[in-house]
Every structure is written in structure tokens, then in C-alpha cells.
Structure 1
């Protein structure tokens, strides 16, 4: 099905008319039990009726075009329900990761200027506190509550709602400072769904027949744009689980009837640790869609479980405007290959000298959409940061910051990240953000953060800490644990250091800036030394459920 609508809400309405009795959502028993919601399937017609009721309630409360609403609802059906209802009125949604803590929430609320937050009741107090700290008036309601009256009139109420209307504000990891708010128009989501619906090859979707299971969070573009919109535009069933549960994963896959899986690279690594069994291929999965699988595990996984893992590349900023996927043979498994660009995507690789990278030479990946609209399918820009938007699009190309190599056959191979970013279990973590939080601990005089290898998560966070009073080996463990415990109140758990290394000084430039190259070398030598404390066991998801 090819939607003719200009909005996400309109596209869903079209599908509800075409496939009213098809299942749109499947809530697995395990996820239902964890979320304390009802398990089972929800049809397109039923969900559309719920959307219409909620839309009317928001409209009566005065919400409209130009307002923004925060959504802290994890992977519950309520996330999609509120998103679609608000989208119908031109209200942009700002997904909020439930793992964010005080400083992060304060920044997000102040920067996005959300009018209302729809959130789990267990997070209401922290949202109220963050709003006060940001000096913002914020209405906060639960997922099943009627919306409070809007505090201000919709600023764009007289403007038409169309494909260019802001649909969502998605925050990046902030690799060079504070997280940036990516303005995402309706066109972005629709283009992602249309791309997935027609890409074909090993990733071909069958109209009205697919059941797509994703453990990825709806606050990220993969689940929110690709998974949701692919199912909406093809009349398929979305199966959003609360998160990845290795021990029960295959039971969920089989019981849900999943035909497509979305994955992060860490997932296959964990699944391969289980003992092989005859039930490994007892499922209906046709392919997996994701990125970052360990190259040595790619071929063994496919052989053992009987379906291809299709590696893809995209960014929050690029959406499907420049997505690339290895959906056709040869896929060059085990080489970091993520396919080659489609005819409607233009690619340049630029070497360190600024010239075109040759075949086999590493270069920064630059992308744009082919034709008269080079930003088709991309984000509309960074909120309140025109300079950063202009810089990202300098010379008419979007600069990704990723280092890529083109092989002799023309396929693209991922090499590494150019920016100073730590990638842990699929989450991009900005070193400067973590440093900004850690330096506020009373015992910390100076701090620098780097990545160290982790066999399961890819990268782990290591903090080099200079203390006001240097600890002895005897009290280093207690101090490290105190720093990490405090950090867990300020940052999402995955950003908190898995190692705290107490050092005498940081590697600095003549102008007192951190020498990132030297820091990375130093970090690799520290784990296992007396003053480097392993705090990985403390990095657990912080549950705030009522």
C-alpha cells in the first residue's frame, strides 16, 4: 500500500479503512505483565476509534498546531495512541527516555518547551522537579488521563497541517556537547515507511502479512520511524516488547508469530552464548533488520538460526532519506558491509585531506538525496541551532561523522566513528555530557571519559578521575562506588561509568583541553590496575514503577 496522506495520523487512518480487522499491535504476555497492562492484539479499527476519542479530548483542551508534548510511556500502546492523536492536531511529540535523570530532564524540558507531558505516574515527581528547575510551567498527566487545558493558544493554529509540519523532536546523543533536538517533519516518517515497504530483496514486506517484533525503544528513530511506519503502511502487526530478554527471547518470537525482527548488534552476541538446540530454527522469522553485529558472529548466527541479519546504516538526522541496507546478495558477511546506496541516494567518501577517498580507502561518509530536493526524508534541522544545521549540511552534503570504506564491488563497509562518542549496546554516549555530570561530584576535581572494549556491549564507559584528595587503594573502591551511585541519580544508567580510574592528572593540551587521542590510549591500559575500579555491576536499569 502506498499512502497518499501528508501526515502520520492520515496514513494510519487510511490503513484502518483498508485493513480494519487486521491486528495493528500485539502485546505479549511477558510485556503485559511487566507493564501491568492487558495482553493481546488490537485491530486497526479498534485503535483508530481510540485515537479519535483521544484526539477530540486534546482538541477540546485547546492543544493544536505548534504545541509540543512529551511522551514518557516506554514501549506501551499508549505511546502510539497519544502520538497519533496529537499528530492529527499538528502537535509535535517529544519522546522521553525513561532512564533520563534530573540534569537531562531539566535540559530537555527547557530546550523543547513542551506544553504537556504524558508520562507514567512513577515519573511525575521527577518531571515536576525538572520543570521547576527549568523554570517552565508544565502540565503532566498519566497515559489514561484526560488532558489538562492548554496554558497557551496553539501558535500555528491558522497554518495548514501537512508533510512539512513538525511531527516529533528527537534528541541526539550530543557528541560534541548538549544533545541536539532534531526537528522531524511528517514527511520523514512517511518516507521511512514507504522506503521499507518498497525496498524489496531480502527485506521484502508482504502487505497485510508481516508481524514485526522490536525490543528497541520507541524513543529512538529505528522503532518509531522504521518499525511503526513500515507496519502502518503495509497493514502489518507491530510487536513492541518492553526490552530484550535473552532467556525468553525465542519463546516470545515463536509465540508471537514474528516474521521480522529488529535488532542491535549486542543481541546476536548474547543469543549465541546459549546452547544450540533443535528448536533454534523453529520460528517464522524471514529476516532481521539492524546494525552492529560482531563480524565474527554474523555467518554463524545465520547458519544456526536460519535467517539473514540485514545490516543497515542511517542516522536520526538522515532518516530514510539516505538509508543504506545490505538487502541483496552478495552481502559480504563478516566485513562490516551495509550494502550499497540505492539510485535515489548520493554518497561521497572524503579522506583526511579533503579529497575523494579511493576504493579501499577510508573516508568520512557524506550523503544527500538525489534530485531537486537533497534533504528529502531528512530531519528539518536542529532546534534553536541554525549554525549546527548549516555546518552539518556544508557544501550541500550532510556530513555524517562516520568513517566508511567502499570495497571493489562498490559496497560500503563501516569502519569507525569519527566523533568522540562511546557506543554502548546501541546507545550513543557523549563523553562531554558524562564529564559535565561527574565533575559536579564533591570528590571530583577533574574528569575525562573514554571508551574501553566490552565483549558484549561493544564499548563501556571508563572515567579517569582526578580527586581533590587522592584515594588510597584501600578506600578507592568505596569512593568509586559512591561516585557511580551519585551518577545514577544524574544520568541514564548506560551513561554512568563502568570503570572509575583514579589518576594523578589528565592528558591535556597547552590550552588545558583534553587530549582525546592520548586519553583513549591511557584508558586501554587502566582496567585491572589497583586504582581502576570495575563498577559495571552497578549499571543496572533503574526501575521507577508504581
Structure 2
């Protein structure tokens, strides 16, 4: 019996495939080079990665990781160096990431929509030694603030926009050559820095250790009920945790990872059929957008057994199951933590966070970190019983790390309720972060851009409910005396200076801001007022953003 057959036989006997991964990779082995090498020896020619016409077997993926590592080392990249990566979903993204992980460098994936102040902060904070950028995104470089210097070495992927005149070396991504042996990487070494939006300050770079990504693969596979041989299908961007850790789910559990360039509501099911996908990944508004498509006789002509449905409002779960035959899995996780809450499949309480998973601890507390009883909303605190299952902190921000991980707990900033039956329910965010179409928007960063307009004296950015179940970005603007400004001018000022998804949809020009006794803007009053008669709606006006 072959090794792969032996594993399948054990699964049929009742041992979950994710549990085998925990046994197969003891704590010291939870690094990507060891995982890839061992899985390549077991699965060899089985397909691991599919993107368009590109197909990598397990053995080929390990060889590509080794060759990519050697390419980085020839360029002078050393263990611990940061490699910034601004690239859409394509094989080169994984090439670079795998190479960094293999030789101990740190990948810094950058949201391809970022511009101006947001992009400047990430490059300033991470100080990469190398920037790998898809050539079509080169215009973003021209929006950087003047004090931001690019690394001396820039590699470009593909073709597209003209190259800007910058100092240093700009060359196409070098071809792969011979491979390098795995470096002595440790489970606590940072494998990626993923930037997550702040609320009262700039985005924070979450340091993800090698072992945290291993646990993402294990916890997610456990929640989704992943089986050996499954085809895991995602359209989510690789620069976020979800799509990146789905690769770990695949490699740890003998599955195939099928990646699409981006989400398309009209093309989702055709792509799922083409890949013969058995597990899918949806967030919030995506499921609602699929339900909004015209009904078709092919709605159930697919192989999907389950789909992640974190953030999908409860009222859509039943509709989705009835129409497409696919249960949506409730769950909760964050870049700093892991897949720490999961619902049943199908959900017994649609739209909740589910139950706390084995290996994690949770506590709901008041402002003094005192525990609250069931049924009372408070801040959700988390910690892990498993070594290195959570992030190790924020890169270059020791004060923010200490603040978030105070009193031996990670403070999520989310207001949550634990029901008496053990279900956890998300209520809202403790501060002013905004979640739009699966992206976190920092109100602080948007406000910094808006305040650079000479006619704007004060502004406040806050969330308003979306028809799709998440947030829309709203802004209240107070003008300088003697100045006039139309709402559309506010939007035009923001375009090109920030990610398109952060540009406000709703704009209110107000005579004065609601203030607290200490003179701070009361955003809660603006949120509670909702869409007032003087709120301008970009969508209703038919204004289309440039991207």
C-alpha cells in the first residue's frame, strides 16, 4: 500500500485528516519547508496548485519553493529580511512567498488597491530590502509620500504600466534556477507581516510566525470538515489571511488548491464546476451577491460540499442552502489570532460566530477587563493553548503590541455576547474600524487624506449599513469658514490617494460636528443618525470611482 493510500485508509477508519497533520508535524516541524518536503514525498505527483493553465504537483511545488529561495539568496536577501510583494492572484505571488518561507525571509504582502498614505506607511514601517511588484501596479509608486524611499532592488512581474523614474535597480522577476536547501527556520520565525487596518492610527503589521500558518491550516480544515483529496476553491486575494491560509489547508491535508484571479458573482459557479471544487470560501457580501444573480438551472450543478460563510447575515444562510445546495459555515478569526470560533455544518444558529474551538480560550470583559456574565456584551479577549497558534505582535510597534496583548490576553476590539448555550454573537466594533466588502478600512487613514483638502476644517469617517450586509464608508465634513465644497468634490479629492474601497460612499456637509464634553467628535451620534436627508450617496448619484 502506498503512503498516500495509507493516509486515506486511516481517514476512512475515522481519524480526521487535520488530526493526522498534528501528529505528522510535531511542534519543531511546523515550518513550511518541512511541511512541503514531507508532503511532497508522500503525495509526489498529486496536484497541489491550479491557476488557469498552471498546475503544480506536490513535488513540483517543493522544487519551486527551493528555486525561489535560491533566487532570493542570489540577490542578497538574507533570513529576516523583508520582501514586499504587491501582486494580484497569480503563480508568481506563491513563488515569492514560498521562497521567502523556505529560506527564512519575511514576505510583506500589500493590498494591491493601496495608494498614498496607506502604501507609504507600509513601506516605511516594514523597510523591505526588496520590492516585488506586478508592473500594472507601478503607478501606485508615484503616489508615495516624499519621505518614502523604495528599496534599492525592485523586481517587476508581467507587463503593464510604464516604469517610473526611481533610483535603484528595476528588473523583471529573474527566472528560477537551481534550488537551495531548506534554511534552519524555526516555528516562531516570522513568515509574513500582514497589515490590518487600525482605528485611531496607521495600519499595524501583524507578525505571523511559521507555526501560526500551520495552525490556520489545521483549525480551518477541522471547522470545514476537509477531507483528503478535496479541491479547495478560492477567489479571495492572496494578500489577505483567508486565501493564504487556504494554501496551508491544502498542503497539510493532501488537497488541491484552486485559485482564481478574483471574485466574480456571474462567473463563480462556472469556475467552481471547472475546478470540480468541493470546498469554497465566501465572505460577507459575496454570498449576498451570488443570491442576487439570476436563477439558473445550473445553480446546483457543482460539487461544492460546504463553503466558509463568515460574516454572512443569518437570514441568507437558508436561502443559500435552498438555492445552491451548499451550507455556509459560520466562523470567526482574525489576522492576529486564528480560526477560533466555528459553527456547526449546517449552522444551528445562522449568522452567529459559532462555538469556541478546542485549543483556544475566550473571555468577554468590561472596560476594566473584568469578566462579564453570559448575555452581556463586552470586549472579546482571546488566547491560545497551542504554542504559536497566534501572532507574535505588531512589527515595529511595541507599544501597540503591549496594548493589544495586555493582561495575558489578546484584546480583539470586538464587542461580543456569549449566550448561555455557548454560542458567541458579534455585536459591533469597539472603535471605528469599518468592514467593507471583506476589506478593513481605517477611519483614521481616510480622515488624514480628507484633512489635506484646504476647505475641510474637520471630518469624521464612520460606518453605515450596506444593503449587502456589511458596512459602507460614510464621512461627515465641516468646512473652513468662507469655503464651499460639494460632496462629490470630497470623493474626487479622495480618489487615487487611498484604496478605492476606502473612498466614502456617503458624504454629509455639516455646519458643526457633534462633540463630547472634551471636544472630541461623537461618531456614535453620526452613526445613530444614519442616512439623513442631507446625506449624499455616491451610488445613487451614479458616480463611478476610478480604480
**Residue 270 in 1 paired to residue 269 in 2?**
no
> What CA distance in whole angstroms lies between the structure 2 residues aligned with 1:48 and 1:541?
40
Matches within 5 A, 1:183-198: 183-197=207-221
Tell me: CA distance 1:127–1:361, structure 2 relative to 1, closer, same or farther (3 Å): same
Structure 1 vs Structure 2 CA RMSD: 2.4
More displaced 10-residue stretch of structure 1: 175-184 or 119-128: 119-128
**Residue 308 in 1 paired to residue 322 in 2?**
no
2:300–2:324 Cα contact (<8 Å) kept: yes
1:319–1:378 Cα contact (<8 Å) kept: yes
Tell me: CA distance 1:471–1:240, structure 2 relative to 1, closer, same or farther (3 Å): farther
1:501–1:533 Cα contact (<8 Å) kept: no
1:193–1:230 Cα contact (<8 Å) kept: yes
> What CA distance in whole angstroms lies between the structure 2 residues aligned with 1:167 and 1:431?
28
The structural deviation recorded for 1:293 is 0.7
SS at match of 2:322: helix
1:72–1:119 Cα contact (<8 Å) kept: yes
**Residue 205 in 1 paired to residue 229 in 2?**
no
Matches within 5 A, 1:147-162: 160-162=184-186
Name the residue aligned to 1:449. Answer: 461
> What CA distance in whole angstroms lies between the structure 1 residues aligned with 2:252 and 2:432?
37
Q: What is the TM-score with the length of structure 1 in the denominator?
A: 0.86
Name the residue aligned to 1:509. Answer: 516
The structural deviation recorded for 1:540 is 4.2
The structural deviation recorded for 1:352 is 5.4
> What CA distance in whole angstroms lies between the structure 1 residues aligned with 2:293 and 2:184?
54
Match of 1:385 among 382, 391, 397: 397
Name the residue aligned to 2:125. Answer: 111
> What CA distance in whole angstroms lies between the structure 2 residues aligned with 1:457 and 1:42?
37
The structural deviation recorded for 1:313 is 0.6
> What CA distance in whole angstroms lies between the structure 2 residues aligned with 1:366 and 1:539?
40
Name the residue aligned to 1:534. Answer: 538
SS at match of 1:99: coil
**Residue 24 in 1 paired to residue 48 in 2?**
yes
Name the residue aligned to 1:36. Answer: none
The structural deviation recorded for 1:541 is 6.6
Name the residue aligned to 1:365. Answer: 380
The structural deviation recorded for 1:332 is 2.8
Match of 1:72 among 65, 86, 95: 86
1:7–1:162 Cα contact (<8 Å) kept: yes
Name the residue aligned to 1:10. Answer: 34
1:128–1:138 Cα contact (<8 Å) kept: no
Q: What is the TM-score with the length of structure 2 in the denominator?
A: 0.86
2:313–2:469 Cα contact (<8 Å) kept: no
**Residue 346 in 1 paired to residue 366 in 2?**
no
Name the residue aligned to 1:493. Answer: 500
Unaligned runs of 5+ in 1: 29-38, 149-158
The structural deviation recorded for 1:110 is 0.8
Name the residue aligned to 2:416. Answer: 404
Name the residue aligned to 2:338. Answer: 319
Tell me: CA distance 1:463–1:138, structure 2 relative to 1, closer, same or farther (3 Å): farther
> What CA distance in whole angstroms lies between the structure 2 residues aligned with 1:300 and 1:525?
28
Task: Write the deviation string for residues 35-63 of structure 1: whole angstroms up to 9, x where unpaired.
Answer: xxxx2433222333333322222222221
Name the residue aligned to 2:260. Answer: 241
> What CA distance in whole angstroms lies between the structure 2 residues aligned with 1:16 and 1:470?
69
**Residues matched between the structures, number:** 502
SS at match of 1:281: coil
Task: Write the deviation string for residues 292-316 of structure 1: whole angstroms up to 9, x where unpaired.
Answer: 1122111121122112100111111
The structural deviation recorded for 1:274 is 2.6
> What CA distance in whole angstroms lies between the structure 2 residues aligned with 1:128 and 1:138?
16
1:263–1:290 Cα contact (<8 Å) kept: yes
